[in-house]
Amino acid sequence: MATRPKSLYDALGVSKTASPDEIKKAYRKLVREYHPDRNPGDKEAEERFKEIQGAYDVLSDPEKRKQYDAFGSADGRAGGFPGGGGNLNFDFGDISDLFGGLGDIFGRGQTRQRAGRGADLQAQVSLSFEDALRGVETQIPVESEAACRECGGSGAQPGSAPQICPECKGRGVTVESQGLFGLSHQCPRCHGSGTIIEKPCPRCHGSGRERRTKRYKVKIPAGVKDGTQIRLKGKGEPGYGGGPPGDLIVVTRVADSPLYQRRGSDLVVDVPVTFADAALGASVDVPTPEGPVSLKVPAGSESGKLLRIKGRGAPKLRGGGRGDVLARLKIAVPKKPNKKERDLLEQLQKVQKVR
């Protein structure tokens, strides 16, 4: 019986300072040499193959290698030589290219569930036109998944904890030997998580999550429009497997104004003027969000003419400042003029015909 290697580096025949490429090269060479299908019935070669695979599983992973160098094992605890027993579990992805890339023909095995970002959530907040212009701070209720209050998200009954899956030894995959090849499959017992829950939490039934309504404070900036989106980082669904949470996207729904029509950051308002004021010129008061402003109507103004009052419109979300108020003149024609008004209009009509 051959002497058992003293360390993982000895198992691969490399030094402690070996580079990842050197480790991989040595591993490939030894896999070819000691694979059980090339040494049928040779128990010593089978044990040697297990040692090679166990050593490579640790030394090819930077974190596991760091733990091994510091503590003598891949998990920071004193332990036996990896790969010394059990099934011939090896990562087919690492050696698929040894045999002409046939790994792509048979398909790569599924691996343990990876950390995943939580889903984004969307909520709507209704605002009056005035609140949208000045900005408000409000609270909105959002229903989402959260860590179970009973088990803290572990899925296990309080007082217990998830256990390493005995089927896959915590890897999340099982390997089925196919001659020179090994096909990895998601572990049927733990479904790829690497752990099992013997005693599920009675509240969440082992999921580790529950639906819960939370209230979030959101600051609506001045000047938002209907459909403006405000993103609250990290307020969405919780992540999976330690992944980050998603975001909460708040969509503003702004009511129409009975007075203003919005054009970007500009506000259009209709201003009625008499026929005489439009013809001769006058000063009129124009409503703005900050109070009325006196505006001079030039003589000879026509209906529909836009007069600009700068800096009195809606706040701009980007770049600062405010838009303008656009006063749209609406010339009021009397529906039933009295005798004096009729006489004046007839005289004006005659003058225009002479011109």
Same-domain pairing of 250 and 269: no
Same-domain pairing of 145 and 212: yes
Q: What would you report as the CA-atom Rg of the chain, rounded to the nearest whole angstrom?
A: 38
Query: Are the C-beta atoms of residues 155 and 204 closer than 8 Å to each other?
Result: yes
Q: Is residue 175 part of a domain?
A: no
Q: Is residue 148 part of a domain?
A: yes
Number of domains in the chain: 3
What is residue 319's predicted lDDT score, i.e. its pLDDT? 83
Q: What percent of the chain has pLDDT over 70?
A: 80
pLDDT over 50 at 349, yes or no: yes
- Comparing 1-5, 158-162, 208-212, 299-303, the range with the smallest average pLDDT is 1-5
Same-domain pairing of 151 and 247: yes
Strands 266-274 and 325-332: parallel
CB proximity list for 121: less than 8 A, separation 6 or greater:
142, 144, 235, 236, 237, 246, 247, 248, 249
- Comparing 139-148, 251-260, 321-330, the range with the smallest average pLDDT is 139-148
Q: Is residue 96 part of a domain?
A: no
pLDDT band for 38, please (50, 70, 90 cuts): confident
Q: What is the mean pLDDT of residues 272-276?
A: 88
| Domain CATH number, residue 61 | 1.10.287.110
Same-domain pairing of 131 and 212: yes
Whole-number Å distance between alpha carbons of 107 and 183: 8
pLDDT band for 99, please (50, 70, 90 cuts): very low
Q: Is residue 179 part of a domain?
A: no
What is residue 73's predicted lDDT score, i.e. its pLDDT? 63
| Domain CATH number, residue 288 | 2.60.260.20
Same-domain pairing of 132 and 244: yes
Same-domain pairing of 298 and 267: yes
Same-domain pairing of 76 and 125: no
Most confident of 59-73, 81-95, 111-125: 59-73
pLDDT tens digits along 106-125: 333 344 445 678 889 999 99
**Domain around 221:** 121-158+205-254
Provide the token pair at 250: 């708040």
Same-domain pairing of 63 and 12: yes
pLDDT over 80 at 309, yes or no: yes
Same-domain pairing of 153 and 213: yes
Q: What is the mean pLDDT of residues 46-55?
A: 86
Comparing 293 with 333, the larger pLDDT belongs to: 293
